[in-house]
Amino acid sequence: MFVYTRKAHYHETDQMGVVHHANYPKWMEEARVAFLDELGVSYGAMESAGVFSPVVHLSIDYKRPARFDDEVEVQLAIAKYTGVRLEVGYTFFNRTRNELCATAASAHCFVKDGRVVSLQRALPAAHERLLACLREENAL
Amino acid sequence: MFVYTRKAHYHETDQMGVVHHANYPKWMEEARVAFLDELGVSYGAMESAGVFSPVVHLSIDYKRPARFDDEVEVQLAIAKYTGVRLEVGYTFFNRTRNELCATAASAHCFVKDGRVVSLQRALPAAHERLLACLREENAL
Amino acid sequence: MFVYTRKAHYHETDQMGVVHHANYPKWMEEARVAFLDELGVSYGAMESAGVFSPVVHLSIDYKRPARFDDEVEVQLAIAKYTGVRLEVGYTFFNRTRNELCATAASAHCFVKDGRVVSLQRALPAAHERLLACLREENAL
Amino acid sequence: MFVYTRKAHYHETDQMGVVHHANYPKWMEEARVAFLDELGVSYGAMESAGVFSPVVHLSIDYKRPARFDDEVEVQLAIAKYTGVRLEVGYTFFNRTRNELCATAASAHCFVKDGRVVSLQRALPAAHERLLACLREENAL
């Protein structure tokens, strides 16, 4: 499990006095980028190599709202990886309030030259790192 | 079915050249507010009456990306309404490209004084209008 | 003077209960794109021709906050245009509250292949339309 | 001078391939909140005490665009503080590219119960800390 920690910014609040729900997909993306970085898979380098990884599915269950200045952990793990599809699971834990904030999932494909591709072919090194990470998770 | 139409703004694009996926929940919210308005349920008036309607669940399936300046219809219908929970379904149709853009769903509860309440008790008139809308949808 | 009208969205509010100040540059951009469209200068077509028009300067004076669901007019006029630099002035007028909301200004250059260019050379037709608009404004 | 460091997120980019200009006011706000925190003036506590500090003026000069994953320092200093008005200056320095990214300024008033107030009266402790910080800056 990878942990990305983040404070809730003022500009992320809405007039209900909580972090607006549309910010959660952004936090998921930030966590994903940081996680891939740690794996040695730079998202920037992937795009420079012409490989994009769009979100094809997103779901979020909001449990308890985060508020301005709360410190929130986004805990992330690979749920499934097939070479052509990556599924990621997320738990938002509010450290300031010591409570579960949200759970979420995203799914991604890989695209090169406008076509869906297998990451295994497009970027074998990245593929190997994702596989290794998944094996490690399963071993726990 | 209610239809909310909207152009994709430049500030909504990302470096993949498409509307960033975190904007879709915002479009859903805009469509919901416009839909409730048409029903005669002003979201602003609800909040002035102390009733908030947070998102408790969100899911989106991204089919084909919207791009800058595309005209996108958000088609919206009530999927379920129990008096304490409202579920809404959405279809994003890209009129500029004449293609399905995304499908989505959101679920909402009602909160007053920090506690989950039944809309039927908290705001009977709004409750009646949601019920009437649901009956009308089912009659079709 | 060109007028772009827009409702303030819920997701644009912050916990102060007003439209967050970082949204104003977005409204300015939306107004600019709509204005250029009306002039017959499509921003999308400009970019397809390889010409980008980044913001080089921005200033905003916030007078009275816009709130959720307020209808706001962004009144826009070219302040200066030299062929290499475009300056635009904006007045935000809140129609719902019948009050001045903000005044603002932006300045833009034109970039092609990573270098600052003259719009006159890069896109003569767009240049002519901006000049014609400026002449018309001055004649008023 | 206070320094707030931040990576540029993917969701902050636009289709020009750079951080969209409307994000800069957000970074300024994040830097301000962190700076006030370090001074011992919690923005959250200010608001809990009923004192808000809206932005009344904003200006930004964009020099060189920040890009995805760039590490950007927002260097911040109080430019002026009169007890009723706070002016802050900012320099965005891109550490990844080792270049000046932008310079900016913001001005703020203080509001309590919907009226502009002097911070000196509304929150004397916060006032003293801002004064002390300004004296220290001037002594350098």
* Closest chain C C-alpha to B1 CA, distance in angstroms: 21
**A-chain residues within 8 Å CB-CB of C18?**
15
pLDDT of residue C107: 98
Dihedrals phi, psi of A4, to nearest 5 degrees: -115, 125
* Contact check, Cβ <8 Å, A15/C11: no
Residue B77 CA to chain centroid, in angstroms? 8
C14 touches chain A (CB under 8 A): yes
pLDDT of residue C137: 86
| Euclidean distance between CA atoms D21 and C56, whole angstroms | 9
Give the neighbor-by-neighbor strand order of the sheet with A111-112. A51-52, A111-112, A115-116
Domains in chain D: boundaries: 2-139
Mutate to test the interface with B, among D14, D18, D26 (most CBs of B within 10 A): D14
**The domain C2-139: what is its CATH number?**
3.10.129.10
* Contact check, Cβ <8 Å, C11/B29: yes
At residue C122, does pLDDT exceed 80?
yes
Which among C25, C52, C59 is the nearest to D21, CB-wise?
Answer: C25
Q: What is the ipTM of this complex?
A: 0.96
Handedness of CA C28, C34, C40, C45 (dihedral sign): positive
| Euclidean distance between CA atoms B57 and C129, whole angstroms | 48
Residue D45, H or E segment: helix D43-48
C69 touches chain B (CB under 8 A): yes
At residue C90, does pLDDT exceed 90?
yes
8 Å CB contact between B62 and B100: no
* Closest chain A C-alpha to C70 CA, distance in angstroms: 14
In D52-70, which positions are buried (b, 16+ CB within 10 angstroms) versus exposed (e)?
A: bbbbbbbbbbbeebbbbbb
Subunit partners of chain B (3 or more CB pairs within 8 A): A, C, D
Which among C16, C47, C61 is the nearest to D52, CB-wise?
Answer: C16
pLDDT of residue B31: 98
8 Å CB contact between C67 and C8: yes
* Closest chain C C-alpha to B18 CA, distance in angstroms: 12
Looking up tokens 């649901």 gives: B134
* Contact check, Cβ <8 Å, B25/A29: no
B30 touches chain C (CB under 8 A): yes
B11 touches chain C (CB under 8 A): yes
Six-digit token string for B88: 């809404």
| Euclidean distance between CA atoms A3 and D111, whole angstroms | 38
At residue C5, does pLDDT exceed 80?
yes
Mutate to test the interface with D, among A23, A47, A69 (most CBs of D within 10 A): A69
Question: Could you give the residue ranges of the DSSP H alpha helices within chain C?
Answer: 24-39, 43-48, 119-122, 124-139
| Euclidean distance between CA atoms A35 and A32, whole angstroms | 5
pLDDT of residue A91: 98
Which among A15, A55, A61 is the nearest to B21, CB-wise?
Answer: A55
| Euclidean distance between CA atoms D125 and C137, whole angstroms | 52
% of chain A with per-residue pLDDT over 70: 100
Closest by CA position to B113, among listed B44, B51, B53: B51
B68 touches chain C (CB under 8 A): yes
Mutate to test the interface with D, among A12, A23, A33, A67 (most CBs of D within 10 A): A33
Q: Three-state DSSP class for A44?
A: helix
C135 touches chain A (CB under 8 A): no
At residue D69, does pLDDT exceed 90?
yes
pLDDT of residue C23: 98
* Closest chain C C-alpha to D16 CA, distance in angstroms: 8
D54 touches chain A (CB under 8 A): no
pLDDT single digits (tens) D8-31: 999 999 999 999 999 999 999 999
pLDDT single digits (tens) B89-115: 999 999 999 999 999 999 999 999 989
Six-digit token string for B59: 């899911």
**D-chain residues within 8 Å CB-CB of C56?**
61-62
% of chain C with per-residue pLDDT over 70: 100
Q: What is the mean predicted confidence (pLDDT) over B84-88? A: 97
Active site residue D37: no
* Contact check, Cβ <8 Å, B16/A54: yes
